[in-house]
């Protein structure tokens, strides 16, 4: 397999709604980074609503620091936009901001939420990114920022929502060798994974003390199980032997509005897949 030369690295931008959403793709991100490619995480909101005791600017500052730590663990650049949490709308102004970010990163690959997610911020982030696909090459849109020469490949990150259509694992990446790094990047979001999220389901008292037990909790909660469809996709991409053994994976669905990659393109953009 040909690995893309390090002096011409791939450029990937992952756009999530909240500080801690991009980390769901943290395994694939870490593998790209280890191979010399450039990955940027963007949180479209500042996360200032996600806690039971703290809020506003004080919470946004905590979450900014947590995100920077997570970015350091994975080796990615991290930017947080100053939009309020739980108030994001798919406005023209926000669309232009997303177009600018994708262009400035000169992205080959753009990853975001599907627009049929449970959280309105996830849905509208998905819409904003989808709306930027194609427009990133149009010179008359955001004319002070040079357009991309080629429409990137746009992908949706994995989710479990079924309606109106379930997620389709078009591309799947085995992440066994970086699972601990991914879990550590989640653990950096302490205010979320050990405080706010357990509080939302009444599990705050069950969060264990001690780093090891907490890591085990996160590994069980934050890594989606390998469904029969994901296993099938792993075997398709890695072959029967390797594909059957992989324990942890991240999957992506191709968005039809970007450049549509064929198998050769996918293997070039995902050089960690060893077919």
Residues that bind Zn ion (CB under 5 A): 17-18, 21
Nearest approach in angstroms of CB 17 to Zn ion is: 5
Which C-beta is closer to Zn ion: that of 194 or that of 270?
194
Which C-beta is closer to Zn ion: that of 26 or that of 261?
26
Which C-beta is closer to Zn ion: that of 200 or that of 244?
200
**Pairwise CA distance, residues 124 & 130, whole Å:** 9
- Of all residues in this chain, which one has the CB nearest to Zn ion in the complex? 18
Bridge partners of 40, per DSSP, are 13, 77
Which C-beta is closer to Zn ion: that of 17 or that of 33?
17
Measure the CA dihedral 6/8/14/15, to 10°. Answer: 150
Q: Which two tokens stand for residue 224?
A: 């989606």
Nearest approach in angstroms of CB 18 to Zn ion is: 4
Q: Which two tokens stand for residue 205?
A: 């008292």
Nearest approach in angstroms of CB 49 to Zn ion is: 11
Q: How many CB atoms lie within 10 A of CB 210?
A: 8
Nearest approach in angstroms of CB 45 to Zn ion is: 8
Which C-beta is closer to Zn ion: that of 154 or that of 196?
196
Which C-beta is closer to Zn ion: that of 21 or that of 23?
21
Nearest approach in angstroms of CB 114 to Zn ion is: 13
Nearest approach in angstroms of CB 186 to Zn ion is: 12
Nearest approach in angstroms of CB 44 to Zn ion is: 10
Which C-beta is closer to Zn ion: that of 21 or that of 184?
21
């Amino acid at each position: 397999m040909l690995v893309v030369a390090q002096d011409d690295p791939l450029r990937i931008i992952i756009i999530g709604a909240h500080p801690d959403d991009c980390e769901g793709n943290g395994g694939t991100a870490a593998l790209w980074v280890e191979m010399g490619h450039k990955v940027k995480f963007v949180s479209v909101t500042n996360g200032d609503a996600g806690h039971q005791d703290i809020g506003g600017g004080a919470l946004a500052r905590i979450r900014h620091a947590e995100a920077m730590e997570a970015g350091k663990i994975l080796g990615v650049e991290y930017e947080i936009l100053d939009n309020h949490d739980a108030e994001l709308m798919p406005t023209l102004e926000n669309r232009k901001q997303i177009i600018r970010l994708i262009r400035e990163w000169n992205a080959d690959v753009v990853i975001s939420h599907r627009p049929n997610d449970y959280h309105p911020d996830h849905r509208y982030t998905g819409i904003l990114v989808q709306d930027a696909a194609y427009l990133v090459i149009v010179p008359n849109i955001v004319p002070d920022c040079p357009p991309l020469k080629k429409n990137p490949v746009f992908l949706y990150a994995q989710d479990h929502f079924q309606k109106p259509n379930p997620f389709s694992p078009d591309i799947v990446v085995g992440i066994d060798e970086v699972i601990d790094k991914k879990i550590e990047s989640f653990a950096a979001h302490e205010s979320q994974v050990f405080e706010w999220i357990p509080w939302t389901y009444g599990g705050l008292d069950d969060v264990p003390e001690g780093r090891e037990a907490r890591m085990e909790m996160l590994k069980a909660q934050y890594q989606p199980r390998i469904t029969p469809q994901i296993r099938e996709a792993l075997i398709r991409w890695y072959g029967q032997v390797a594909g059957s053994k992989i324990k942890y994976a991240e999957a992506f669905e191709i968005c039809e509005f970007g450049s549509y990659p064929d198998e050769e393109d996918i293997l070039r953009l995902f050089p960690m897949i060893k077919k």
